Amino acid sequence: MKRADIRLTEWGRFTEKNLDYADEYGDSILFRFGLYATTTSGGGVGHKILCADEPYPIQKIGIIVKRLPERERLVLTAHYCAPLKECGNPFTKNDLADILEISVMDFNRALSRGRRMVENRLDKDEK
């Protein structure tokens, strides 16, 4: 499981650093995700992420995450790609659970399940 966490952390950092930071209204896409768990109206989470030059390992994790069930995908994306609060501190799991409108227990379950799914997929791909 530790390997999945490391790879997801790398993916989250790369994704956050390489986001298209402004949508057509001038809003920060990452900020909008942090507030509303969406990017722009009418689009799904991540549809504005433009990372054509992603290294293969980062791209591979991104593909795995995109294929997860919705709750796990949203929780992993929120956990690993969340913006900082206005005060500069990271969002807590409680904050992210509130944003996604789920309980902290459900957030933690989906996070664990998502990590396990990523780990299983990585194991499968290495064989």
Q: Which domain holds residue 122?
A: 2-18+54-126
- Looking at per-residue pLDDT, the higher value among 27 and 65 belongs to 65
For the stretch 57-75, pLDDT in tens is: 888 898 899 899 999 999 9
Q: How many domains does the chain have?
A: 1
Query: Is position 41 within any domain?
Result: no
Query: Is position 29 within any domain?
Result: no
Query: Is position 38 within any domain?
Result: no
Size of the chain in residues: 127
Query: Is position 68 within any domain?
Result: yes
Residues 95-118: b if buried by 16+ CB within 10 A, e if exposed: bbbebbebeeeebeebbebbbebb
Query: Is position 34 within any domain?
Result: no
Query: Is position 48 within any domain?
Result: no
Average the pLDDT over 6-18 and give the result.
85
Query: Is position 82 within any domain?
Result: yes
Look up the pTM and report it. Answer: 0.72
